[in-house]
Amino acid sequence: GAVVSQHPSWVICKSGTSVKIECRSLDFQATTMFWYRQFPKQSLMLMATSNEGSKATYEQGVEKDKFLINHASLTLSTLTVTSAHPEDSSFYICSARKQGINEKLFFGSGTQLSVL
């Protein structure tokens, strides 16, 4: 199997604080990880593509300094929402592409962020 663990599942924080979300591939090496944002009853919006050892590639309209992505190893990528505001409240999901399998994605279980 291919398991992607995302932590935390949910987080509540005060406006102005930073929140870090981790995405780990537990039993495989992930050449690429993707971060998505999803609003209620809507589709996934790709925020950025994270490649191990290099800078993330952000989608148009996504602030790099707001959403910091680090992909330090082949099994871990982190998304840090800096100086969070209520409008950042959303469901964030990561996915990973398995090395050698360049098509389907394996998803984490998502993180519900609520900024007060």
Partner 1 sequence: SQQGEEDPQALSIQEGENATMNCSYKTSINNLQWYRQNSGRGLVHLILIRSNEREKHSGRLRVTLDTSKKSSSLLITASRAADTASYFCATAMKSSGDKLTFGTGTRLAVRP
For the chain, the residue count is 116
Q: Which stretch binds partner 1 (CB under 8 A): 14-22, 65-73, 75-83, 105-113?
A: 105-113
Interface with partner 1, residue 46, by CB under 8 A: yes
Contacts of 74 (CB under 8 A, 6+ apart): 25, 29, 30, 31, 52, 99
Which C-beta is closer to partner 1: that of 49 or that of 89?
Answer: 49
52: helix, coil or strand? coil
Return residues touching partner 1 (CB under 8 A). 4, 6, 32, 34, 36, 41-44, 46, 49, 91, 93, 95, 97, 102-110, 112
